[in-house]
Amino acid sequence: MTLTTFSAETLTPTEHASRYLQQLCKHWQHNLQVEFTPENGTVIFPKDARGADYPGDAVVTFNVAETGLDIRVDASSPEQLDGLKGAVERHLDRFAFREDGLKYDWK
């Protein structure tokens, strides 16, 4: 069985991409499968996380770019995709509270 992947990506402008990437990954490594370096991170959200019942697991990847933090979400349903985009934004905004609002332009 092949699952359809629903994906979205954004480049969030910030001078602190590596710091935020590491904070997000450290935060989620307590209860999710996480791998990261100062330049890249991957977080796997299980299909049944928090009582959900999605067709498959989702993967969020973070990459430090010259102008900010590149974020990609690969999900198994549109609902899972939208939920994870929101979760990433909320968590990143919490860590970036000193900045005047981060920008997300999901494509």
Show Cβ contacts of residue 107 under 8 Å, excluding neighbours closer than 6 positions: 8, 9, 10
**pLDDT at residue 42 above 80?**
yes
Could you give the CA distance from residue 106 to residue 14 in angstroms, rounded to a whole number? Answer: 16
Band (pLDDT 50/70/90 cuts) for residue 65 is: very high
Dig out the tokens for 104 from the structure.
């997300």
Dig out the tokens for 56 from the structure.
């498959």
Domains of the chain with bracketed CATH:
6-33+40-49+57-95 (3.30.310.50)
In the chain, the percentage of residues whose pLDDT exceeds 90 is: 90
User: For the whole model, what pTM was predicted?
Assistant: 0.94
Amino acid, single-letter form, for residue 2? T
The alpha carbon of residue 47 and the mean position of all alpha carbons in its chain are separated, in whole angstroms, by 15
Residue labelled with tokens 């480049």: 11
